[in-house]
């Protein structure tokens, strides 16, 4: 292990300590267990069993290879716990922490065989979820100084939605709906199939209970006027240029929460936030975020 990797951890960020509720172990275990079963196959880790003595012990450190935001340490810990409860996992920089290249975020110690067996699964989750958190944090930083909050969408990896939405929170973002059953979101195809904006919203109101919100997507100011005539809790302005979006915010005038979506990138987010929207949603922070590179270095 390099001298850089051995340096003491920096203080965790305020976000990591104060704003991020931990992911319940019960929710993290199924995808981690599935990943381990996929990796172990029908014969187990034949390489480790062949070359590493059963009584060998080791200590290893999870080290960041480049700057970013940590997320998914609980998945790494879960992988090792499932393989051998005797392993000791120690978190040094918790999820939500900003890290630099060379920072040690956690250590694992105990029998060497399960450490080696769980290494790839642990790193896969840590690198992927930290990538989601890192890209979210970039967008959050881009809209700094404005009231707009960055949120995710349902464009998630199948089977990993809960984990990826957690990673968005670790990056300082907030979550949109989790699935089709926790909020009404009327999109363009719904409007066509329902016969128009008014019948779509009125149909939704007849169906839902008092705790369910109604959001509807609009592409033009003309559609927006139709929505305002009927009313909605949230209006999603999709692919509107900033000048049009500013007009939409002014026209809504606080009658509904305003969300913007479409072509959201760090270089465009500030101009969109400056229009006065409440939320900015981006699907790529979950489905296309590059992994944040971590290594597991044996001492």
What are the residue numbers of the active site?
Answer: 120, 155, 187, 217, 238
Burial (0-12, 13-18, 19+ Cβ within 10 Å), 251: middle
| Closest of 118, 109, 135, 4 to residue 63, by C-alpha | 4
95 touches 294 (CB < 8 A): no
Q: In three state form, how does the secondary structure of 130-156 look?
A: HHHHHHHHHHHHHCCCCCCEEECCCCC
Q: Cβ distance 119 to 76 under 8 Å? A: no
Angle of the 112-142 helix axis to the 25-40 helix axis, nearest 10? 120
| C-alpha dist (Å) from residue 167 to 20, 137, 279 | 10, 10, 18
List, in sequence order, every beta strand (DSSP E) within 76-139. Answer: 88-91, 98-99, 104-111
| Residue (of 99, 137, 156) closest to 19 by Cα position | 137
CB atoms within 10 A of CB 292: 25
Q: For residue 222, what are the CA distances in angstroms to 193, 203, 218, 226, 259?
A: 19, 21, 9, 7, 17
CA 275, CA 295: separation in Å to the nearest integer? Answer: 41
**Bridge partner list, 98:** 69
- Using CB atoms within 10 Å of the CB of residue 299, give its burial: 0 to 12 exposed, 13 to 18 middle, 19+ buried: exposed
């Amino acid at each position: 292990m390099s001298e850089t990797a051995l340096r003491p951890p920096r203080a965790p960020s305020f976000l990591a300590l104060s704003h991020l509720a931990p992911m319940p172990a019960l929710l993290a275990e199924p995808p981690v267990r599935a990943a381990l079963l996929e990796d172990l196959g029908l014969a187990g880790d034949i390489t480790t069993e062949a070359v590493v003595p059963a009584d060998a012990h080791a200590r290893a450190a999870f080290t960041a290879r480049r700057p970013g935001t940590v997320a998914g340490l609980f998945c790494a810990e879960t992988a090792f716990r499932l393989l051998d409860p005797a392993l000791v996992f120690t978190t040094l920089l918790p999820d939500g922490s900003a890290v630099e290249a060379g920072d040690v975020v956690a250590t694992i110690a105990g029998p060497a065989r399960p450490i080696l067996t769980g290494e790839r699964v642990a790193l896969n989750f840590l690198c992927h979820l930290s990538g989601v958190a890192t890209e979210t944090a970039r967008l959050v930083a881009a809209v700094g100084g404005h009231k707009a909050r960055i949120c995710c969408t349902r464009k998630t990896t199948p089977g990993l939605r809960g984990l990826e939405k957690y990673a968005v929170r670790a990056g300082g973002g907030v979550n949109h709906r989790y699935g089709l059953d926790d909020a009404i979101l009327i999109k363009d195809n719904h409007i066509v199939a329902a016969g128009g904006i008014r019948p779509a919203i009125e149909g939704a109101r007849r169906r839902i209970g008092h705790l369910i919100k109604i959001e509807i997507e609009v592409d033009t100011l003309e559609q927006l006027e139709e929505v305002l005539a009927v009313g909605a809790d949230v209006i999603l302005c999709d692919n509107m240029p900033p000048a049009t979006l500013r007009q939409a915010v002014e026209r809504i005038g606080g009658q509904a929460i305003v969300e913007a979506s479409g072509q959201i990138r760090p270089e465009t987010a500030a101009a969109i936030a400056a229009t006065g929207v409440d939320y900015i949603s981006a699907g790529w922070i979950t489905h296309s975020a590059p992994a944040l590179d971590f290594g597991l270095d044996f001492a």
